[in-house]
Amino acid sequence: MKAPNINIKDILKKLSFLKNNLALLVPIIIAIVALLLLIPGRILAGRLRATVEEQSVRTGKRVDTLIRDVNSAAEAEVMRAQIDAHAQDVNAIEALVARTVERELLRYDLFGPDTNETSRVLFERFSAAYRTSINRLVESIGAGACPTVSEIQAALKTAPRTALQGVGGVYGDMGRGGAPYGGGGMMDPYGGGGMMGRGQSLGIVTEMDKKIVDQMCLDRAGTIQVYASPVEVAGYAFWDDWTFEDRDKAYRDCWYWQLGYWIVEDVFTTIRQMNQGAQSVIDAPVKRLTGAEFTLGKSRAARGGRPRAGGRMRRTKENEGPTYVTDTTDVLTVPCTGRFTSPIEDVPGIDVVQFNVRVILDATQVMPFMEQLCSAKSHTFRGFYGDQPEQTYEHNQITILETSISPVEPDTFDHMLYRYGDKPVVELDLICEYVFNRTPAFEEIKPRQVRENLFSDEKK
């Protein structure tokens, strides 16, 4: 490429007019210099703006965001307080779990690591303590029995009697069936009236007799809050007829029935809470306790109950008491919770006992009763050796596994001397489980005989 031919002389000639106009020379020079400075200034300004945007503005925005997101020192203290509160909740839950098994013992001189009693006297004292405590529970719910056979017969002996005509009438010969007050073996709940053989009558042969019996039953219902008796509670008859065989068996009996008493105590607490404020059986939600047992009651068998898969219909008489549920071979029902006694002797762990409770109650009170049964209940504790200041704790260890409800016909034999009021009533039959959480203190008082039997090679 040919370089341009620049003639300097021509340029100078063209600019020679500036010699005559020196006043214009200075502005022209300034304009040229300004033009030369403007172009790189523009370039530098653009670069500077980009640098500021990248390094300063964006950084400032990030700082603003961080300032908004980062908690202040005061907020950090609040968070620390919340964390501490959660930790306290965890500790409180652990303490609550431990306190569920910190319960009053029937005898404080029987359980513990240093107890190795060989005399039968201590076990006989436990027997007496169990029956005395059951009697107190019965009294605490204002319970009583229907009129006994002997009471009815004594009252009818002094009543005017006019024999009805005909044989086998409603109030005639009770031995021919058909009469609502006829035979079939009525047992006095407290043992005061003896057994009436089938075919014998209560002596109701006139309309006046019927009215007398009805009034006796109504009067009795008006003086009590619920029908219940000690012999309908598991363990009462067992300990009444208990005899000492050997020390190991005696320790096991006492321990399992101590667990059983705590369970029965919760049943009575439920009835007392349900009937609070009631004047008598007539207006009480719970009318009658028909059983609190660790076997399946006869009423369930009478309704056509059958063994559950892997379970037994009814335990033997020798094993009618509470026992730990270790697998499906010793259950009243296969637990929907899937809970069994922990298979190894570990802490923490659980011990599970199943039980059966049956009550007759107002048909509208079925759900309230079940809710109350499973609700938290308070108890006192003075240490497992009775040597500490009394404390009040709460426990909640019951889960309902199976429910059965059947209507009650007041005129049938099982109910003819009971008065439940005018509202429909039902019998509620529940199978439940009771969970005992293992804690070091609770395991300390568990007898060696129980642990050895539970965790023997055959059980593992």
Write down the pLDDT at residue 45.
63
CB 229 within 8 A of CB 143: yes
- Give the model confidence (pLDDT) of 54-85 as tens digits: 666 677 677 666 666 555 656 767 677 777 66
Q: Where would I find the beta strands (DSSP E) of 42-171?
A: 143-144
What's the pTM? 0.71
Dist. CA 342–CA 350, nearest whole Å? 6
Q: What is the pLDDT of residue 412?
A: 87
User: Last residue of a domain, which of 153, 188, 223?
Assistant: 223
pLDDT of 240 above 80: yes
CA distance 127 to 254: 8
Residue-level length of the chain? 460
Q: Which of 200, 223, 246 is the last residue of a domain?
A: 223
Q: Could you report the per-residue pLDDT of 144-193, keeping only the tens digit for each?
A: 999 988 888 888 887 765 543 333 333 333 333 333 343 333 333 333 33
Identify the pLDDT of residue 411. 83
422, part of any domain: yes
| Residue ranges making up the domain that contains 189 | 145-223
Over residues 16-58, the pLDDT tens digits come to 665 566 566 667 677 776 666 666 666 666 666 666 566 666 7
pLDDT of residue 258: 97
- Residues 118, 154 within the same domain: no
* 384 and 353 inside one domain: yes
What are the residues whose beta carbons fall under 8 Å from the beta carbon of 191, sequence distance 6 or more?
Answer: 231
pLDDT confidence of residue 401: 98
Give the per-residue pLDDT at 278: 96
* 30-34, 107-111, 200-204, 401-405: the lowest-pLDDT one: 200-204
Please give the C-alpha separations between residue 16 and each of 8, 9, 22, 166, in angstroms, as whole numbers: 12, 10, 10, 165
- CB-based contact 265:137 (threshold 8 Å): yes
275 & 321 share domain: yes
**Across the chain, what does the average pLDDT equal?**
78
How many distinct structural domains can be found in the chain?
3
Domain contains 80? no
In this structure, the answer to whether residues 255 and 380 fall within a common structural domain is: yes
